[in-house]
């Protein structure tokens, strides 16, 4: 029970002839998909991948990425999906740290094969996921063709399913250990947020290494959806894929939404078959959200909030609240309510529950809670206690159970002794018509310690002034939260692999040579 | 994890001021509800209810019935909800069999207190759920008032949560052992079928001892709905409750739907606030279903198919298929697809998987699978294997994964939502001196779906009447199990090669031209 291969076997049993994956002209039904997975698993077992041994992957989105996940689980191993934005050094770190014996890699990362092969001692086998494998590297399709099916290892429950590296923006990545049960639970919880039909199709638009996609990907498999793919996010490619494959469900992070909705070739008709789409992984500026709702009134939007340590979903704002009434009730600024089976506490620094309305740290527990950080007992003990995960996110809860996230604790700006949560200010600025995107950071101030600074990407042909922005904020946020200075910027914001704005990089030029003290 | 009190504690933490229950003028919010449950649990612990010890209940629907469930779990005990239609003899059997130390009983069953107290040795305490408790019986509210809160026992996972008695082919009801995890999973799976809002209200219309209500009741708690109640099903009372409490969700078995829709005072306006309603527990005649869809086009109907041994849900026909297209596709006759996390196989007699389209027995597995039958290792071994439950229901699956139930493999009659095992009734009838042989079958009934019919071969020179047979059954089996009609027969019964009575042949003349739909 709670084994991730159960979903696959169920599909192969109940809907064997329905299409499982469509990618670059390849098409496999669930029976064929299981067959390929089982043969690839045979090969992996020979390569030592069983009993929780790790097989990593560094690749763009494709049907083979999905096969990789299930083949590793079928063999009894654990997946290690690597961040596609990482440098060779970061990849090498995670491969070494995880002790992966096998690495799947595709042609987009071919140039990394040599250095990785050279630097990583434990890495015994590299599997090349495209044609024309370089010397010394095994070709993916040949591996499948040369092996027979094997029985499912039937790993389940608290067995290790994968190491999901996180925290790359704040130092060394940590390998979050997720069990079969944790991801299984996420598939259940995610499923409760959507209405899936027998002929639905899921588009992998966000990178498959990340749980923003990985979470709903499992839900899609569990519900027997057809999986389709874009190799990497690009607004026009996504719109084309939505239309070509008659996609019904997708996940897009806020920056992706921004790039689509504000693209000169934005075509709402490409969303014609899309019933439901999830957003999450970073704060959604309310102005952008209203824009999406206006442009795509027939798409049921669902917000997911979570983190890798929770596999990942913790709360969700259901589609029903993305409505006129939801707006009036102020719920668009909320991350929604705890998903079923997740317990959410709002705690003070000593771990005591705070009453509704007070801001504290979100501490969550569910069957999705991580097993811990790989090889880091101290970091684990600091974060995980009896299944309860300290998220590091600051939030309050209203009396109907809606959670309002005010910011990452560590991103908080402290100005003149007052706490300012960036996302609150960003939300309001984003509703100004001349603003395309905004990031609010703290910059050094002799007088206040930090002062609030806004970096704004203006809307096409606009040039908002600090006075205009400040006037817009009047009556909306307290004076101390309003930016004291402002930068206009044309380039897009630097993003992490998960699509989060890299605030650290935005702050760097202001803080050059100075310590930023946040307490 | 997977503990049923988690849902309650989550509500008390996140929505303490929202109303949990409304009943006969009483109203408690989730904070008060938890408080009452915790105090009642203190009392139960003193009465020996902890570590899986059993506390039974025989009562009509009320807020206190819901408190009973959570108090027993909070104390660490296991619930034993008794069938309100049972005779004293059947209740005594289940109380003895379960070894219940405590019995909750309300005024509707006051007349049973004396005989049960007299006959059942292990029954130490009776708790009276209304005012004016008889002598020697503890009063419910006094028990709460006289105890302090205690900590939750935090039972979870595979810990026993309850014994749910179900009709027995052997003639005696079997106690289905369900774990916390099994019911927890059912709450998750059920939740995926509905779209719950923060202000929704669930009506307990079906009896609370039965998992048709019990399953969705847990889902309602898990989603923080307000619970409201009718003591027992009565069409006008249900319609009044729907309107008075602005009910959004309910479960009604097909006979209840029939009695409402065809009631002379049927008022569709009473369903004004109902968003979604589930039906199940017995076959829904397609004509009735179409009638409901026509009369109540704004109610999203969901069909659930399951059985107690699966806690109970196995498959569901989602609201979206209760549509014109669903009708055209013939899906209204389907029990839907496996709910998320449930694996469903269609097997031949040797347990091999059959291809789609072929009729075999439904064999299902999920975290909802029972732990076994209480004290019946042989019956358990015959039904449960590695989590897989043989349902006794015959069905086929189409290529989109929809299950069509065609027959009960077990010799069972479903009349008005209640299961009647033929052999139990046959066993008792066969003890009548005028009866040489008897076969009990289900024949079509507009009101009940099926009704119980007895075919009797009389003893030499005898001619028993329906009245005599019914009188013989009184005090021995519940009223709903007694035959409503009877045929006398001289010829021996048609037998299979193995010497089994060929019930199919006996049924044929009654069902000529009619499908026997079992769901």
Beta-carbon contacts of B287 under 8 Å, excluding residues fewer than 6 positions away, are: none
What band does A447 get if pLDDT is binned at 50, 70 and 90?
confident
- pLDDT above 60 for B498: no
Of residues A16, A187, A320, nearest to B197 (C-beta): A320
The CA-based angle B262-B265-B268, given to 5 degrees, is 75
- ipTM score for this prediction: 0.83
- All CATH 2.30.38.10 domain ranges of chain B, comma separated, are 341-408
CATH of A5-395, one of 3.30.360.10, 3.40.190.10, 3.50.50.60, 3.40.50.12780: 3.40.50.12780
Tokens of B302: 């969901």
State pLDDT tens for residues A378-421: 989 999 999 999 998 889 999 999 999 886 555 678 777 666 77
Q: Which residue, among A302, A308, A238, A299, has the nearest Cα to A274 in the 3D structure?
A: A299
Residue B331 is given by DSSP the state G
| Residue A344 near chain B (CB below 8 Å) | yes
What band does A170 get if pLDDT is binned at 50, 70 and 90?
very low
Q: What mean pLDDT do residues B471-497 have?
A: 86
Q: B340 and A188 in contact by Cβ < 8 A?
A: yes
Helix ranges restricted to H, B99-210: 113-119, 140-145, 180-191
State pLDDT tens for residues B113-145: 999 998 898 999 999 999 999 988 999 999 999
What is the pLDDT of chain B when averaged over all its residues? 91
Question: What is the spatial distance between Cα B346 and Cα B356, in angstroms, rounded to a whole number?
Answer: 8
- pLDDT above 50 for B518: no
pLDDT value at residue A168: 41
- All CATH 3.40.50.12780 domain ranges of chain A, comma separated, are 5-395
Rg (CA), chain A: 23
Please tell me the number of Cα atoms within 13 Å of A485 on its side-chain side: 10
Which chain A positions have a beta carbon within 8 Å of B387's beta carbon? 1
Q: B365 and A191 in contact by Cβ < 8 A?
A: no
User: Which chain A residue lies closest to B12 (C-alpha atoms)?
Assistant: A401
Residue A219's alpha-carbon distances to A154, A180, A184, A189, in angstroms, are: 19, 14, 9, 8
Topology at the third CATH level for domain B341-408: Luciferase; domain 3 (2.30.38)
pLDDT value at residue A405: 87
Token look-up 């009801």 returns: B173
Per DSSP, the residues of A28-41 read: EEHHHHHHHHHHHH
Q: A10 and B223 in contact by Cβ < 8 A?
A: no
Topology at the third CATH level for domain B30-155: Rossmann fold (3.40.50)
3-class SS of residue B347: strand
pLDDT value at residue A467: 93
Tokens of B39: 């105090």
Beta-carbon contacts of A240 under 8 Å, excluding residues fewer than 6 positions away, are: A270
Q: What mean pLDDT do residues B352-380 have?
A: 95
Q: A400 and B18 in contact by Cβ < 8 A?
A: yes
Q: B13 and A224 in contact by Cβ < 8 A?
A: no
Are A394 and A354 within 8 A, CB to CB?
no
Of residues A10, A223, A344, nearest to B343 (C-beta): A10
Q: B188 and A344 in contact by Cβ < 8 A?
A: no
Tokens of A462: 């606009």
Beta-carbon contacts of A59 under 8 Å, excluding residues fewer than 6 positions away, are: A65, A68, A84, A104, A105, A106, A108, A109, A129, A208
| Residue B134 near chain A (CB below 8 Å) | no
A343 min Cα distance to partner chain B (Å): 6
Residue B495 is given by DSSP the state B
Are B189 and B339 within 8 A, CB to CB?
yes
B143 min Cα distance to partner chain A (Å): 29
Of residues B1, B9, B400, nearest to A18 (C-beta): B400
Cis check for the bond before A233: say yes or no (omega within 30 of 0). Answer: no
Token look-up 């499912």 returns: A152
Q: A198 and B402 in contact by Cβ < 8 A?
A: yes
**Partners of B251 in beta bridges:** B278
Q: Which residue, among A98, A106, A113, A122, has the nearest Cα to A67 in the 3D structure?
A: A106
pLDDT value at residue A407: 61
The neighbour count for residue A405, using CB atoms within 10 Å, is 21
| Residue B183 near chain A (CB below 8 Å) | no
Q: B340 and A15 in contact by Cβ < 8 A?
A: no
What band does A169 get if pLDDT is binned at 50, 70 and 90?
very low
Q: What mean pLDDT do residues B186-199 have?
A: 90
Are B226 and B201 within 8 A, CB to CB?
yes
Q: What mean pLDDT do residues A345-374 have?
A: 94
3-class SS of residue A148: coil
Q: A15 and B401 in contact by Cβ < 8 A?
A: yes
| Residue B13 near chain A (CB below 8 Å) | yes
User: Which chain A residue lies closest to B219 (C-alpha atoms)?
Assistant: A340
Span A412-511 CATH architecture: 2-Layer Sandwich (3.30)
Q: A338 and B14 in contact by Cβ < 8 A?
A: yes
**Sign (positive/negative) of CA torsion B470, B472, B478, B483?**
negative
Are B469 and B454 within 8 A, CB to CB?
yes
- pLDDT above 80 for A500: no
Q: B14 and A222 in contact by Cβ < 8 A?
A: no
Q: What mean pLDDT do residues B257-280 have?
A: 94
Which 185-204 residues of chain A touch chain B by CB within 8 A?
A: 187-189, 191-192, 195, 197-199
Which 356-395 residues of chain A touch chain B by CB within 8 A?
A: 356, 365-367, 369, 387
Neighbour-count burial for B133-166, b at 16+ CB within 10 Å, e otherwise: beeebbbbeebbeebeebebbebbeebbbbbbbb
Q: Which residue, among A209, A215, A204, A205, has the nearest Cα to A82 in the 3D structure?
A: A209
Tokens of A437: 């995107």
Q: B356 and A187 in contact by Cβ < 8 A?
A: no
Q: Which residue, among B426, B389, B403, has the nearest Cα to B519 in the 3D structure?
A: B403
The neighbour count for residue B131, using CB atoms within 10 Å, is 9
pLDDT value at residue B309: 96
- A75 by Cβ neighbours in 10 Å (0-12 / 13-18 / 19+) ranks as buried
Question: What is the spatial distance between Cα A34 and Cα A150, in angstroms, rounded to a whole number?
Answer: 11
Are A389 and A381 within 8 A, CB to CB?
no
A439 min Cα distance to partner chain B (Å): 31
User: Which chain A residue lies closest to B401 (C-alpha atoms)?
Assistant: A14
| Residue B353 near chain A (CB below 8 Å) | yes
Q: B10 and A198 in contact by Cβ < 8 A?
A: no
Using DSSP bridges, classify how beta strands A249-251 and A276-280 pair: parallel, antiparallel or unpaired: parallel
- All CATH 3.30.300.30 domain ranges of chain B, comma separated, are 412-511
Of residues B1, B191, B345, nearest to A387 (C-beta): B1
State pLDDT tens for residues B407-443: 665 677 888 888 787 877 887 888 888 988 888 999 9
pLDDT value at residue A448: 76
Which chain B positions have a beta carbon within 8 Å of A314's beta carbon? none
Question: What is the spatial distance between Cα B464 and Cα B451, in angstroms, rounded to a whole number?
Answer: 20
Q: A340 and B224 in contact by Cβ < 8 A?
A: no
Angle between helices B5-14 and B211-222 (to 10 degrees): 40
Rg (CA), chain B: 23
Question: What is the spatial distance between Cα A136 and Cα A101, in angstroms, rounded to a whole number?
Answer: 15
Are A175 and A98 within 8 A, CB to CB?
yes
State pLDDT tens for residues B154-186: 999 999 999 999 865 456 789 999 999 999 999
Cis check for the bond before B312: say yes or no (omega within 30 of 0). Answer: yes
Are A286 and A333 within 8 A, CB to CB?
yes
Is pTM beyond 0.90? Reply is no
Of residues A17, A197, A224, nearest to B320 (C-beta): A197
Which chain A positions have a beta carbon within 8 Å of B353's beta carbon? 13
User: Which chain B residue lies closest to A189 (C-alpha atoms)?
Assistant: B188
What band does B519 get if pLDDT is binned at 50, 70 and 90?
very low
Question: What is the spatial distance between Cα B247 and Cα B230, in angstroms, rounded to a whole number?
Answer: 12
**Partners of A277 in beta bridges:** A250, A301
- pLDDT above 50 for B505: yes
The neighbour count for residue B378, using CB atoms within 10 Å, is 9
- Catalogue the long-range contacts made by B136-140 (C-beta closer than 8 Å, 24 or more residues apart): B137/B113, B140/B64, B140/B104
- pLDDT above 50 for B247: yes
Question: What is the spatial distance between Cα A163 and Cα A170, in angstroms, rounded to a whole number?
Answer: 18
Of residues A9, A192, A195, nearest to B318 (C-beta): A195
A456 min Cα distance to partner chain B (Å): 36
Q: B343 and A2 in contact by Cβ < 8 A?
A: no
Q: A198 and B400 in contact by Cβ < 8 A?
A: yes
- B201 by Cβ neighbours in 10 Å (0-12 / 13-18 / 19+) ranks as buried
pLDDT value at residue A513: 59
Residues, chain B, total?
519
User: Which chain A residue lies closest to B403 (C-alpha atoms)?
Assistant: A14
Q: How far is CA A408 from the centre of its chain?
A: 16
Of residues A16, A387, A401, nearest to B14 (C-beta): A401
- Catalogue the long-range contacts made by B113-116 (C-beta closer than 8 Å, 24 or more residues apart): B113/B137, B115/B88, B116/B88, B116/B91, B116/B92
Which 211-230 residues of chain B touch chain A by CB within 8 A?
A: 222-224
Residue from A13, A216, A334 to probe the interface with B (highest B Cβ count within 10 Å): A13
């Amino acid at each position: 029970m709670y084994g991730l291969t159960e979903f696959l076997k169920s599909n192969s049993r109940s809907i064997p002839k329905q299409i499982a994956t469509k990618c670059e002209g390849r098409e496999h039904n669930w029976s064929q998909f299981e067959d390929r997975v089982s043969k690839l698993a045979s090969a992996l077992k020979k390569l030592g991948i069983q009993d929780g041994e790790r097989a990593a992957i560094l690749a763009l989105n494709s049907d083979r990425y999905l096969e990789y996940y299930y083949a590793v689980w079928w063999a009894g191993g654990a997946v290690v999906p690597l961040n596609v934005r990482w440098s060779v050094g970061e990849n090498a770190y995670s491969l070494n740290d995880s002790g992966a014996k096998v690495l799947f890699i595709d042609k987009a990362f071919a140039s990394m094969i040599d250095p990785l092969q050279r630097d990583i001692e434990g890495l015994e086998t590299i599997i090349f996921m495209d044609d024309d494998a370089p010397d010394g590297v095994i070709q993916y399709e040949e591996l499948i063709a040369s092996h027979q099916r094997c029985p499912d290892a039937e790993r389940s429950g608290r067995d290790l399913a994968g190491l999901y590296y996180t925290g790359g923006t704040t130092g060394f990545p940590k390998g979050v250990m997720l069990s079969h049960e944790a991801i299984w639970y996420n598939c259940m919880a995610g499923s409760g947020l959507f209405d899936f039909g027998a002929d639905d199709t899921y588009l992998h638009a966000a990178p498959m290494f990340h749980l923003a996609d990985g979470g709903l990907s499992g839900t899609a498999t569990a519900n027997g959806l057809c999986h389709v793919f874009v190799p990497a996010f690009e607004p026009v490619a996504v719109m084309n894929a939505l239309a070509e494959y008659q996609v019904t469900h997708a996940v897009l992070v806020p920056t992706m939404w921004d790039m689509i909705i504000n693209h000169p070739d934005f075509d709402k008709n490409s969303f014609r078959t899309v019933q439901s789409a999830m957003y999450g992984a970073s704060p959604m500026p309310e102005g952008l959200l209203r824009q999406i709702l206006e442009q795509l009134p027939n798409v049921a939007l669902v917000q997911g909030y979570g983190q890798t340590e929770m596999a990942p979903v913790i709360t969700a704002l259901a589609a029903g609240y993305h409505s006129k009434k939801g707006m009036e009730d102020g719920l668009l600024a909320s991350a929604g309510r705890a998903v079923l089976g997740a317990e959410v506490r709002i705690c003070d620094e000593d771990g005591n529950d705070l009453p509704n309305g007070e801001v504290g740290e979100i501490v969550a527990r569910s069957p999705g809670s991580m097993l811990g950080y790989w090889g880091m007992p101290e970091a684990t003990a600091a974060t995980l206690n009896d299944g309860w995960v300290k998220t590091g996110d600051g939030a309050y809860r209203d009396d109907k159970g809606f959670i309002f996230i005010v910011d990452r604790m560590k991103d908080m700006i402290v100005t003149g002794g007052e706490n300012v949560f960036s996302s609150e200010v960003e939300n309001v600025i984003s509703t100004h018509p001349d603003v395309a995107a905004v990031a609010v950071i703290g910059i050094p101030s002799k007088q206040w310690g930090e002062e609030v600074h806004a970096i704004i990407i203006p809307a096409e042909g606009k040039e908002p002034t600090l006075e205009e922005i400040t006037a817009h904020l009047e009556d909306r946020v307290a004076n101390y939260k309003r930016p004291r200075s402002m930068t206009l910027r044309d380039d897009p914001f630097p993003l992490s692999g998960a699509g989060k704005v890299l605030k650290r990089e935005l702050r760097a030029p202001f803080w050059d040579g100075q310590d930023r003290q946040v307490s």
